[in-house]
Structures are given as structure tokens and as C-alpha cells.
Amino acid sequence: MSHLPHSQKYLKDASDLNLFELSSSKWVGWESPSNIALIKYWGKYGEQLPQNPSLSFTLKHSKTITRIEYQKKEKEFPVLEYYFEGEQNIEFERKVRKYLEKISIYAPYLNNLDLRIYSQNTFPHSAGIASSASAYSAIALCICGIENELFGKLNDTNCFFQKASFFARLGSGSACRSTYGELVLWGETEVIKGSNNEFAVELSTEVSSIFKDYSDAILIIDSGKKELSSTLGHGLMQNHPFAAARYEQARQNLANILECLKLGDVIGFAQIVEVEAMTLHALLLSSVPSVSLLKPNTLEAIERLKTFRMNSQLIFTFTLDAGANIHILYSASIREQMVNFITNNLKELCENGLWIDDEISKGPNKL
């Protein structure tokens, strides 16, 4: 496994991030999007480090908007309050407190600040979209914003987003990919220079323009709370009989999909994306204990999509995260046909008819 030079560097830098002047309350805000993995991250080691590299599309409309008000702490222990959609959320407040304690070894100034975090999602709270990626990436970006305001050491854009990605990873692995836009890679691989297990990077290789305007239609089959936490899910890979083969498959699929992206091979791209999705659920089904996250309407929607693709000869693909909801990925050139098909044939399979019309974005934005 790799050495961890950046974590060591951030620990060394932390010694200069204690003393600061702050006479009044200030605020910083970021909106950060969710992402959908094309090459799946499933299996980790150490401190939120991936067993295989992953690749994702950053979404545009499914995002978290976070504002953090900060001031020098007034009492012995710093104050932390977390508000979601205008109401204090004690459950997530506890998670954020643990998260801030975790990253405080790299950001010791947090121990001397009172923080009030105000957050909201642009997508329905129970839409079945994993919001941890957008939530933790937004918080991480705000923390780096505070650090730069207090110490002025993150003025370099690359350094700023790299550290934000590093911080986001410690909250949720996939969150490190949401600090960048379009196609984002996380995890060491020989095929991408500068790739790293500690933070994500924007895909630096040439990508055909056909993939720049892809849409993501998210079918909300089930909006219920996740049946399997990410931590437990990744834990299932520790003794999984197919683990080693899976990690090698992911590395090979990454190399192949990068070639498809470069050549504009939409058919090859589609095949790899679907294999990755089905492999994830096959791993869940073959875990001990076995886990099934697919719902009857998930399987029905997949069959309808395959039949439509065969009959229409349109080129599109679909993927799923560790849940029942389906992401349909397609280019702008077939938008009218896809929206018509979703509206007339798939919407009825969605919970309360809910589906989200999303697309690829350039990444997070400062408020």
C-alpha cells in the first residue's frame, strides 16, 4: 500500500494553525454537489482509504448548500450547532462533532472556534440519493475556507481543493470526489499521474466532448432510509471470497473506461458502467450475511430499459449505488427520446412518481 505523504504534511503544517486573531463572528459558505460512481469504490482499509480506484460523474442539481458561522470560542469547550432545513438536527450534529474531532489533528484551530452550521439540500431529503458525499464535501470546503481566512495559507486553488478533498474523505469516502467537477478519480492508479488514495483529482486525461453533456435521470424507486450503512457495507468486503478478484476487476475496468472516454466509445462506456453496477450488487448478494438492496420495481425498470434500448437502438447506460434507485446516463443528443420514455414508461415505477432530471456539473461553488 502507498505511503501517506499528504497526511504527514498536513500534520506538520498543523503546528502553525493554532494562533489566530478573530474579533467578530464571520461566515463562509459553499454549495457542493453529489456524484455518481461509474467505477465503484467498495472496500476500504486504514483511515478511509480505498482498496481500488473509483471514477465518478459530478452532478449539477443534486447538491448540498452549507453555511458555517464561526467565532472565537467564548467558553472552555467550543460550541457546535448543526441546522438542517432550518431545524436543529441532533443526530447529524453528533456525526459532525466526531468528524471535526477527527480532522482537528490537521486543523487544530477548530478546537478554539464556536461553529453554527446551516445546511440544506436541493433534492428532497428522502429522495434516496446518498447525501453524505455532498454534505461532507460542503463542510470540508467551508473548513478550508475558514482556514484560509484565518491563516491565508490556502490561496493556491490546487492546494485549497486538494486539502478539501482530503478532509471530505475523512467524513465519507465518496465525498472526496464531490470537491471537483465533471469526471473525478479517487485512488492510486498507474494510468493517471498524480492519482492518490488520500484525495481525489479531476480527470486529467483527454475526454471526448460527447461525454461532456451527459445527463443523469435518477429514478427514485425507494426513498426509505438506507438499509445498509456504508461502514457496514465496506466491512462485508474484508473477508469476501471475491474481494481480490473484485479489486483487480475494478482496476482493469478503470483502464478500459478511460480509453472509452478518450475515444468517444459510448458503447464500451455503457457496458463497463453497467458491469460495475451489477458487480456491486452481486458482491452484496454473495456477502456473509447476504444483502439484497434491489426492489421489484428496480428489476422491472432495468428490464424495461434494456428492452427499450434494444428496440430503439439508442445508446445509453444505467448504474446503481448501494440502494434501489437507478441512474440513467445518456447524451444530450437523445434527451427528448429519453425523457419521453421515462415519463411514459418508468415514472410509474418510481415512488410517488419521483425522478430527478440531473446532469454533469463543473463542481462546487463558493457562496
Q: What is the mean pLDDT of residues 119-132?
A: 79
* Number of folded domains that form the chain: 2
Per-residue pLDDT, 126: 60
Whether 366 maps to a domain, the answer reads no
**Per-residue pLDDT reduced to its tens digit, 253-276:** 999 999 999 999 999 999 999 999
User: What's the DSSP call for residue 197?
Assistant: S
pLDDT beyond 70 at 328? yes
Could you tell me the three cell numbers for 140?
470540508
**Measuring CA to CA, which residue among 3, 114, 125, 18 is closest to residue 62?**
125
- On whether both 185 and 226 belong to a single domain, the answer is no
- On whether both 192 and 236 belong to a single domain, the answer is no
Give the mean pLDDT of the chain: 94
**Per-residue pLDDT reduced to its tens digit, 70-80:** 999 999 999 99
Q: What distance lies between CA 228 and its chain's CA centroid?
A: 17
The whole domain housing 41 covers 5-207
Per-residue pLDDT, 4: 56
Reported confidence tier of residue 130, pLDDT bands at 50, 70, 90: low
- On whether both 201 and 248 belong to a single domain, the answer is no
Q: Which residues are paired to 71 by β-bridges?
A: 114
Reported confidence tier of residue 127, pLDDT bands at 50, 70, 90: low
- On whether both 200 and 217 belong to a single domain, the answer is no
Which string of DSSP letters, residue by residue, matches 59-122? EEEEEEEEEEEEEE-SSSS--EEEEETTEE-HHHHHHHHHHHHHHTTT-GGGGGEEEEEEEEES
How many Cβ atoms from other residues are within 10 Å of residue 46's Cβ? 10
- Determine whether 334 is exposed, middle or buried from the number of CB atoms within 10 Å of its CB (0-12, 13-18, 19+): middle
Domain final residue, candidates 207, 233, 260: 207
CA distance 278 to 127: 22
Whether 67 maps to a domain, the answer reads yes
Q: For strands 113-121 and 80-84, give the pairing.
A: parallel
- On whether both 176 and 34 belong to a single domain, the answer is yes
Whether 365 maps to a domain, the answer reads no
- CATH number for the domain harbouring residue 159: 3.30.230.10
Domain final residue, candidates 191, 207, 223: 207
- On whether both 284 and 198 belong to a single domain, the answer is no
**Measuring CA to CA, which residue among 175, 108, 174 is closest to residue 141?**
175
Per-residue pLDDT, 131: 84
Q: What is the mean pLDDT of residues 322-342?
A: 97
Q: In the chain, at which residue ranges do the beta strands (DSSP E only) sit? A: 26-39, 44-45, 49-50, 54-72, 80-84, 87-88, 113-121, 183-186, 200-202, 215-219, 317-319, 326-330, 355-359, 365-366
Longest pairwise C-alpha distance within the chain: 68
Could you tell me the three cell numbers for 291?
444483502
- On whether both 177 and 223 belong to a single domain, the answer is no
pLDDT beyond 90 at 229? no
- On whether both 343 and 270 belong to a single domain, the answer is yes
Whether 198 maps to a domain, the answer reads yes
- On whether both 73 and 21 belong to a single domain, the answer is yes
Reported confidence tier of residue 49, pLDDT bands at 50, 70, 90: very high
Per-residue pLDDT, 344: 98
- On whether both 55 and 97 belong to a single domain, the answer is yes
Q: For strands 200-202 and 317-319, give the pairing.
A: unpaired
- Determine whether 359 is exposed, middle or buried from the number of CB atoms within 10 Å of its CB (0-12, 13-18, 19+): middle
CA distance 18 to 22: 12
Whether 245 maps to a domain, the answer reads yes
Domain final residue, candidates 207, 231, 261: 207
Per-residue pLDDT, 163: 98
Q: Is 281 helix (H, G, I), strand (E, B) or coil?
A: helix
Name the percent of the chain lying above pLDDT 90. Answer: 91
Name the percent of the chain lying above pLDDT 70. Answer: 98
- On whether both 87 and 167 belong to a single domain, the answer is yes
- On whether both 54 and 86 belong to a single domain, the answer is yes
Reported confidence tier of residue 154, pLDDT bands at 50, 70, 90: very high
Whether 158 maps to a domain, the answer reads yes
- CATH number for the domain harbouring residue 292: 3.30.70.890
Reported confidence tier of residue 2, pLDDT bands at 50, 70, 90: very low
Whether 328 maps to a domain, the answer reads yes
Contact partners, residue 122, CB within 8 Å, separation at least 6: 61, 62, 63, 64, 65
Q: What's the angle, vertex CA 115, arms to CA 173 and CA 64, rounded to 5?
A: 45
Q: For strands 365-366 and 215-219, give the pairing.
A: unpaired
Whether 219 maps to a domain, the answer reads yes
Q: What's the angle, vertex CA 216, arms to CA 335 and CA 254, rounded to 5?
A: 120
H-helix segments, 114-242: 132-151, 157-171, 230-235
* 137 close to 363: Cβ distance less than 8 angstroms: no
